[in-house]
Amino acid sequence: MKKEFDPKTIIQTLQGVLPREQKSIALHEPLFKGNEWNYVKKCLDSGWVSSTGKDVDRFEKQLAEYSGIKHVIAVVNGTAALHICLQLAGVTSGDEVLVPALTFIATTNAVSYCGAVPHFADNEERTLGLDPFKLGDYLREISELRTEGCFNKKSGRRIKAVLPMHTFGHPVDIDPLMEVCQRYKLMLVEDAAESLGSLYKGYHTGCWGRLSALSFNGNKIVTTGGGGAILTNESSLAVLARHLTTQAKLPHAWSFNHDMVGYNYRMPNINAALGCAQLEQLPEFIKQKRSLAVRYQEAFADLKGVKAFKEADFARSNYWLNVLLLDEEYSAARDTILELTNKLGIMTRPAWTLMHQLPMYQYCPRMDLSTAENLERRIINLPSSAFL
């Protein structure tokens, strides 16, 4: 028989999984036990710490090999990667881009940077990501297909792209989403900021979108301090991404010419050096994180009213951040659990405030977002560092 729902039991269960000797446990901490020192010191000794260095090349090559995606362009962070992905997907002033309501702010801000309007789509409980079936039904109702593409009948604006985010590392259900994109002539761009190492039906997240974005922020599975990457299998897009992120400077031994409004978005070499060492350890990090996820799942299996979130059948998740999902009837206890755990030095946090509830995005178009709203009330992120 399962134990009754009680915040205190939940905390005891959590403490049972986590190391007892540690006084304070972060949500996600990086681990530097490989060649970090070695590579960063070599980079400093070479004097070449800034953009376009050997470590950047190596980091990009390692990532391409690991992900199976042909072209990788390392940039300053995931937000910059998303911005360029959308721009290269043709998103421009006055377009709409479909974005999940439950996501990190960067997904939505990237749409704004292009002068476009985010249009919020619902999430689903199976993946915590964008719900492709609900999206298909919604588009049938609100959109009009013309030769040029898909138009929002109400706003009159073109819906140019869909930008799903693989929430906490869990891949969205890509196949039906691809079908929706094909049916409605929408460009697919993947926000894979949280899902480095996560597979959908055996292939790396980020390989379905025409362009995809990764992040290597300090809290990610692999870090470069700050960093991100643009992924694409199309070499013409890769060339443009490289050009746009290096201030659109035309190659020349000494002269400075630029042919577009570009960006100063390339990753510095010193950050890439750190990344090379981190990438070497990624398979081990994933193994450890998947094992921690199983420990959470097993520990919470005996408790009523909660479960530790488990990947869908089609997914092999990196379990970047573990999720404790409260049953709807117990969602009122979320804040109590957050307060108690954080007071004990066990860092937990709720999901992000939903995008349509933020003041600057409250008037954006949106579908019924009841699942996202439901999930937001029930999600608690648990400590998820690889070494736990």
Residue ranges in contact with a copy of itself by CB under 8 A: 29-32, 36-37, 40-41, 44-45, 47-51, 76-80, 104-106, 109, 112, 115, 217-219, 223-226, 247-249, 253-264, 266-271, 274, 338, 342, 347-350, 352-353, 358-360
DSSP 8-class letter at 360: G
Q: From the CB of 266, what's the least distance to a copy of itself, in Å? A: 8
How far is residue 240's CA from residue 255's CA, in Å, rounded to a whole number? 20
How far is residue 260's CA from residue 239's CA, in Å, rounded to a whole number? 14
Q: From the CB of 285, what's the least distance to a copy of itself, in Å? A: 14
Q: 263 or 300, CB closer to a copy of itself?
A: 263
Q: From the CB of 250, what's the least distance to a copy of itself, in Å? A: 9
Q: 13 or 77, CB closer to a copy of itself?
A: 77
What ranges in the chain are assigned the alpha helix state H?
7-17, 36-46, 54-67, 78-88, 105-113, 132-142, 174-183, 235-245, 269-280, 282-300, 334-343, 370-378
Q: 291 or 353, CB closer to a copy of itself?
A: 353
Amino acid identity for residue 2 in this structure:
K
Contacts (Cβ under 8 Å, ≥6 apart) of 141 = none
Q: From the CB of 269, what's the least distance to a copy of itself, in Å? A: 7
Phi, psi of 287, rounded to the nearest 5 degrees: -55, -50
Q: 163 or 315, CB closer to a copy of itself?
A: 163
How far is residue 73's CA from residue 94's CA, in Å, rounded to a whole number? 27
Q: 57 or 175, CB closer to a copy of itself?
A: 57
Reduce the DSSP state of residue 100 to 3 states and report it.
strand
Maximum Cα interatomic distance, the chain, rounded to a whole number of Å: 75
Neighbours of 303 (CB within 10 A): 19
Q: From the CB of 355, what's the least distance to a copy of itself, in Å? A: 10
Q: 63 or 270, CB closer to a copy of itself?
A: 270
Q: 147 or 257, CB closer to a copy of itself?
A: 257
Whole-Å CA distances, 271 to 44, 174, 194: 11, 31, 18
CB 231 within 8 A of CB 206: yes
Number of residues that this document lists for the chain? 388
Q: From the CB of 301, what's the least distance to a copy of itself, in Å? A: 25
Whole-Å CA distances, 273 to 30, 34, 41: 15, 12, 9
Q: From the CB of 82, what's the least distance to a copy of itself, in Å? A: 9
Q: From the CB of 182, what's the least distance to a copy of itself, in Å? A: 31
Q: 232 or 245, CB closer to a copy of itself?
A: 245
